[in-house]
Amino acid sequence: MTIQFKKILIANRGEIAIRVVKTCRELGISCVTLYTDEEKDLPHSMAGDQFVCLGSGALKDTYLNQDLIIKICKDLGVDAIHPGYGFLSENAGFCTKVTKAGIKFIGPSPESMILMGDKTGSKRKMEEVGIPLIPGYHGDNQDPSLLKKEASKIGYPVLIKASAGGGGKGMRIVEQDKDFDESLDAAKREAKNAFGDDRVLIEKYIKNPRHIEIQVMSDQHGNHTHLFERECSIQRRHQKIVEESPSVALDEKLRKRMTEVATTITKAIDYEGAGTIEFILDGDIPGAFYFLEMNTRLQVEHPVTEMVTGLDLVKLQIEVASGLKLSYSQESLVQRGHSIELRIYAEDPDNNFLPSIGKIFTVGKTQARLDTGYQDGNSVTISFDPMLAKLVVYASDRAGAIKAALSALKEVPFLGLTTNRDYLSRILTHKKFIEGETFTHFVQTYKDDLQPKKLNQEELSLAVAAHLLGNTSTSQISQNIESAWDRLVGFRL
């Protein structure tokens, strides 16, 4: 049996759209890409074999305009939609509409999305299956006095979380009973604004957690597999910025336990396609881990899994959606080497991570894997996520991967914008990161260590002189003054 799809529309933008196009081309599948008026010059706009402009306006009128996207599919004879991540990738209503229109949604069923997309509902299901959960309250009764009583039962500190949320919105850490009411009001208000749903759940706050996620892949024939783990403990504002595989926190025994729990979950919900089971690993209790949530889509950090397994996850998604059986067995999979992914953002970490906008003069070139939706001359606006690129490296061991990552960061300066590139280098060279002692509040705990080093005038003068001269002779500089500045890869005044 072969893949049945002849044409796939990618309902997304930027680097993930380009990433899906790459695999479609390798599979001989025609693809359609989308773009807006302000994205005409971005690489993804014309990356497909066909491309359609969504016009302008708010996201609801463009990338979130379900009816428009389905109409484009019908007009162009599209067989399937790949949603990428974000936007409509976990929208059960969109998945249902697509299916009713006779188009295949490359992802799980709407039922799986609904079940696992709701934090409260998913935790109830996990309780039924016997999956370890963080002690907490996940009930329907949202009376503030009851929630406060439950928090006292659990024991402070507790975490208030939006039931329908993600990305850190509608989330508050409460250290003491006297702060609960104010924190609850703030969490509910934020949840209502972000998700239209102010329901919350209460959990015990794990003080030294590591964020471990298991990549899963299931087909339509009852085969449920895992593709090992990724560690995503380095985060800012609950958003991951450094991901790696394998995790130094897992030995073979713990890895086996966690991956078995992950496949138990996919079997229990009859899952289809790619997904990620996220766990909290308790840093204070050896071997203790708890189910956090499931993402029913491809993850931003999927490249590190591809690096250590040698598998193309997008290809597997397309094959599974087409009805094919998984092309490998669980026993045949092996984790080899070490991979690190760095998310390069247009933001200023030294100014409270303030977003940066402007024109990119030079992206740079590297031998490492660089997944980006930008090229030289493109402008970055406030209309979309500030992530510029994902820089992914691979080496035989973790020390080699850290060294490769530091080297690659210097090769992609994204000149013209303020980015978190130097900040990422500071994380990679931090003693605790090198030792593998990471946890989700790493950035906050070591914020003083991660501040830029202030140079004295002599150091600044020497740095400028070194960059100006490089390997270029004085006579060459005098003949062509621009050649000196052309050599300033990674240098910014």
CA distance 302 to 312: 9
Query: Residue 359's beta-bridge partner residues?
Result: 379
Using an 8 Å Cβ cutoff, are 414 and 363 in contact? yes
**Rounded CA separation 209/233 (Å):** 8
**438 contacts: CB under 8 Å, gap ≥ 6:** 210, 231, 233, 234, 432
The DSSP 8-state label assigned to residue 132 in this structure reads -
AA letter at 360: I
| Helix axes 252-268 and 119-129, enclosed angle (nearest 10) | 110
Cα–Cα distance measured from residue 253 to residue 493, given in angstroms and rounded to the nearest whole number: 50
Beta carbons within 8 Å of 44's beta carbon, 6+ residues apart: 13, 14, 15, 17, 18, 21, 33, 35, 373
Catalytically annotated residue among 297, 343, 398, 421: 297
Name the token pair of 161.
């979380």
Q: How far is CA 363 from the centre of its chain?
A: 21
Which DSSP category does 490 fall into?
T
- Beta-carbon contacts of residue 329 (< 8 Å; ≥ 6 apart): 225
Q: Can 189 be counted among the known catalytic residues?
A: no
- CA dist., res. 82 & res. 205, Å (int): 36
Q: Given the DSSP bridges, would you call strands 80-82 and 7-10 parallel, antiparallel or unpaired?
A: parallel
In the numeric block, the tokens 């080093």 are attached to 453
**Distance of alpha carbon 278 from alpha carbon 268, whole angstroms:** 16
Q: How far apart are CA 235 and CA 305, in angstroms?
A: 19
- Output the DSSP codes for 303-316: HHHHHHH---HHHH
**Cβ-based neighbour number of residue 184 at 10 Å:** 21
Alpha helix (H) residue ranges in 269-397? 302-309, 313-321
Return the closest-CA partner of residue 8 out of 61, 64, 72, 59: 72
- Inter-residue contact 218 to 279 (CB < 8 Å): no
Return the residue matching tokens 């609950």: 238
Partnered with residue 281 across adjacent β-strands are: 210, 289
Cα–Cα nearest to 250, from 216, 277, 211, 224: 211
Query: Prior bond to 286 cis, omega within 30?
Result: no
Which active-site residues does the annotation give? 297
